[in-house]
Amino acid sequence: MKLKASYLVLIFGVLLALPIRIIELIAFIDGKTGFSLEGDFIAPVLYAILVLTIVASILFSYLNRSHPSIILDRDKPLYILTLVLGGSFVVRCVMDIIRAFGVTGDSTFRIIISFFGILIGVILLYMGVCQMKYNTIFSAFLSVLPAIWVVLRLLQLFTEYTTIISVSEHLFKLLFYVFIALFMVGMARIWSHTQPDKGSRGVFAYGIPAVVIGVLVTIPPIIAQLKGSTSLMEFVWSETLLELALTAFAAYMVLYLKRRDRDAQLALEEEPEDISEEVLEETTETE
């Protein structure tokens, strides 16, 4: 029941936060300064929705004591999304290395993170291929590497210079990577089958906020780019592609675990009936 509530939190969080954020950018943000215009009542509403989404998803997840302890099966959308995520890592990090060599200043940390990101992309591609062949348990070392990269990316965002005009979008991006990092820790437990029930709990608790905030940091900038509007933060297609892939992967994992939990519950409900039928058959044969 609590997992169903988490699922509803995800749906309503996206449906409420996304249009409000788009309206805020169009009608209540000064495109030249990045500050809110007079009479902006949208921002407090948006922040309230995000806080409620985060608190509700964590609360419902941790109140539920029976998270599914699973081994990933050969699920076609799951391994396709894993392959897409791996490819997005490679494209993003290769493009970032090219950009790093073209800017002034010390880009050593950025280049190191990008090379590490290419490695993460190759690992995710390997995982996706293995899932196609029913091999869905990986070493703890490989499983935790994506989470480490996200933490490094978060540190990079903290140290990067951001102008006043993009401070709100930068804040959303920081929050996105915070929850993606926590989500990836849960995925590491599932991939390595190390306390997978706790991994499932982490996916529900932190994956839902990651999806809601991920939608906010990707869809509105894409709309602004397609309309030719000025984006408050520099728009990089490869970065947006990776963030979209992370958001889609997190969203599907929440749905996937919800389905696996439902199947487990149905199996438990059917067991007593099967036992009763067997006892009835044995009794009939004895008579």
- Dump pLDDT digits (tens) for 171-201: 889 999 999 999 999 999 999 999 888 999 9
Residue 279 pLDDT exceeds 50:
no
Range among 45-49, 62-66, 262-266 with highest mean pLDDT value: 45-49
Q: Count CB neighbours of 142 within 10 A.
A: 16
When comparing pLDDT for 100 and 255, which is higher?
255
What average pLDDT score do residues 95-104 get?
83
What average pLDDT score do residues 226-243 get?
75
Percent of the chain with pLDDT over 70: 80
Asked if 180 and 55 count as a contact pair (C-beta separation under 8 A), the reply is no
Could you report the per-residue pLDDT of 80-90, keeping only the tens digit for each? 999 999 999 99
Q: In which residue are the tokens 């169903």 written?
A: 4
Fill in the DSSP letter of residue 101.
T
Q: Count CB neighbours of 271 within 10 A.
A: 10
Beta carbons within 8 Å of 15's beta carbon, 6+ residues apart: none
Residue 283 pLDDT exceeds 70:
no
Rounded CA-CA distance 32/254 in Å is 38
What pTM, to 2 d.p., does this model score? 0.86
Asked if 221 and 235 count as a contact pair (C-beta separation under 8 A), the reply is yes
Residue 52 pLDDT exceeds 70:
yes
Residue 106 pLDDT exceeds 80:
no
pLDDT given for residue 276 in this prediction: 47
Please give the mean pLDDT across all residues of the chain.
83
Residues 159-187 as b or e (16 or more Cβ within 10 Å = b): eeebeebeebbbebbebbbbbbbbbbbbb
Residue 229 pLDDT exceeds 60:
no
What average pLDDT score do residues 149-159 get?
90
pLDDT given for residue 268 in this prediction: 64
Asked if 213 and 14 count as a contact pair (C-beta separation under 8 A), the reply is no
When comparing pLDDT for 42 and 265, which is higher?
42
Rounded CA-CA distance 199/279 in Å is 38
pLDDT given for residue 69 in this prediction: 79
Residue 287 pLDDT exceeds 70:
no
Residues 58-73 as b or e (16 or more Cβ within 10 Å = b): bebbeebeebbbbebe
pLDDT given for residue 163 in this prediction: 56
Could you report the per-residue pLDDT of 130-139, keeping only the tens digit for each? 998 877 889 9
Q: In which residue are the tokens 């007079």 written?
A: 38
Residue 166 pLDDT exceeds 70:
no
